[in-house]
Amino acid sequence: MKTLYDLGEFGLIERFAKQVHAGRDVVKGIGDDTAVIDNGGEEYLLMTTDMLVEGSHFLRTMMSPQEIGRKSLACSISDIAAMGGIPTYAVVSLGAPANMSVQFIEGIGQGINNLAKDFGVTVVGGDTVKNNRIIINVALLGKVKKDEVVYRNGARKNDLIFVTGPLGNSFRTRKHIHFKPLVEDAQFLVKNVKPSSMMDVSDGLAGDLGHILRQSQIGAVLFEKKIPLAKDATLNQALHDGEDFELLFTVNPDQAEVFRKSKKFKFYEIGKIVSGSALTLVDVKGKKRKVEMKGFEHF
Ligand code: ADP
Ligand code: MG
């Protein structure tokens, strides 16, 4: 019997993608940070969803209810940011045990709504069910100007590769809980340089850059000495670990000067797009090695 473990998370998603019938208004369906829909207006509609499950993503002893709530929305805002968009409306579905304290559930709601307020998001509905573990699902809409949307498939040879901040060790540092979704940074980028590709790093640099490379049908070189590492993080964590929620993007070298000088936002140049289909790392001694384009997967 073939199991989900055999397929892997992304093998499973590919299978789902084959089952889908794409409507005419769908500009981008499965495969990017959010779906992109042309509903006839001046802007595209963005849509994304994320699920947080007790036992898989968090333990009640690890995170306060406010933190659980905040994170459940923050992951989705990060995906809207990665498309060059602005988040707008959310629906929140919640599963919780009957013996849970009202205070705890209200804490989750506070976490969601405090962050929602900071980012101009309104929670407009949801669903509530009894379940023996806490499950939170946030579905979030956003909007993006048609000429500012950025996909994963636009990286071109000679483009430079950037990240917005240090990578790795996000569980120890608790950055996976307290990260600020980078809507402002992404807005600065799409309004000033128009990256050729962009996504948020949620599953490790190598795995996520792998998505950009496969979808753009191109290869890349990363320079170990240029990759910013978080406190006490190893290179291996930066490449293959999860939940940094920094932005990873590529730009044409002609455009890079514009924001290298930016005072407000910091961008780290970490590599270059090259022909082929492999991901190569140049280590601190100048030696090259191939890197597996694998990040965190649920199966
Ligand atoms: P991200 O890390 O940016 O949130 P994921 O890795 O979770 O993205 O998902 C990758 C793509 O697969 C997204 O376009 C997402 O919408 C899609 N996807 C994930 N799970 C499913 C599913 N069960 N059915 C359909 N599409 C899915
Ligand atoms: Mg994403």
Check: CB of residue 70 under 8 Å from CB of residue 111. Answer: yes
The token pair at 245 is 């929620």
**Residue-wise pLDDT tens digits, 133-174:** 999 999 999 999 999 999 999 999 999 999 999 999 999 999
Return the ligand 1 atom nearest residue 30 CA: 14
Owner of token pair 């978080």: 230
**Residue-wise pLDDT tens digits, 44-64:** 999 999 999 999 999 999 999
- The pLDDT score that the predictor gives to residue 297 is 78
Confirm or reject: Cβ of 79 under 6 Å from ligand 1.
yes
- The pLDDT score that the predictor gives to residue 298 is 79
Query: Which strand ranges, in their side-by-side order, compose the sheet holding 122-130?
Result: 26-28, 35-37, 43-53, 135-145, 86-96, 122-130
- The pLDDT score that the predictor gives to residue 89 is 98
Residue 294 burial by CB count (10 A; 0-12/13-18/19+): exposed, middle or buried? middle
23 C-alpha to ligand 2 centroid (Å) = 23
User: Which pLDDT band holds residue 24 (cuts at 50, 70, 90)?
Assistant: confident
**Residue-wise pLDDT tens digits, 265-287:** 889 999 999 999 999 999 999 99
Confirm or reject: Cβ of 243 under 6 Å from ligand 1.
no
Nearest to 161 by CA among 20, 39, 272: 272
Pocket mutation for ligand 1, best pick of 12, 30, 246, 247 (most atoms within 8 Å of C-beta):
30
Confirm or reject: Cβ of 29 under 6 Å from ligand 1.
no
The residue ranking higher by pLDDT, 260 or 54, is 54
Which amino acid is located at 49 in the chain? T
Confirm or reject: Cβ of 202 under 6 Å from ligand 1.
yes
Atom 21 of ligand 1: nearest residue by CA position: 13
| % of the chain beyond a pLDDT of 90 | 85
Query: Which strand ranges, in their side-by-side order, compose the sheet holding 219-223?
Result: 197-201, 246-251, 160-163, 268-274, 219-223, 279-282, 288-290
| Measured distance CA(296)–CA(9) in Å, rounded | 9
User: Which pLDDT band holds residue 38 (cuts at 50, 70, 90)?
Assistant: very high
Confirm or reject: Cβ of 197 under 6 Å from ligand 1.
no
Would you list the DSSP string of 134-168? -EEEEEEEEEEETTT---SS---TT-EEEESS-BS
- The model's pTM is 0.96
Q: Which helix (H) or strand (E) holds 230?
A: none
Check: CB of residue 279 under 8 Å from CB of residue 209. Answer: yes
Residues in the chain: 299
- The pLDDT score that the predictor gives to residue 257 is 82
| % of the chain beyond a pLDDT of 70 | 100
The Cα-based distances of 124 to 71, 91, 116, 202 in angstroms read 18, 6, 11, 26
The token pair at 259 is 């924001």
Check: CB of residue 71 under 8 Å from CB of residue 63. Answer: yes
Return the ligand 1 atom nearest residue 31 CA: 14
User: Which pLDDT band holds residue 130 (cuts at 50, 70, 90)?
Assistant: very high
Check: CB of residue 213 under 8 Å from CB of residue 152. Answer: no
| Measured distance CA(6)–CA(237) in Å, rounded | 24
29 C-alpha to ligand 1 centroid (Å) = 10
Half-sphere exposure at residue 240, Cβ-oriented, CA atoms within 13 angstroms: 7
Atom 11 of ligand 1: nearest residue by CA position: 31
Nearest to 271 by CA among 294, 288, 292: 288
**Residue-wise pLDDT tens digits, 247-258:** 999 999 998 887
Atom 16 of ligand 1: nearest residue by CA position: 30
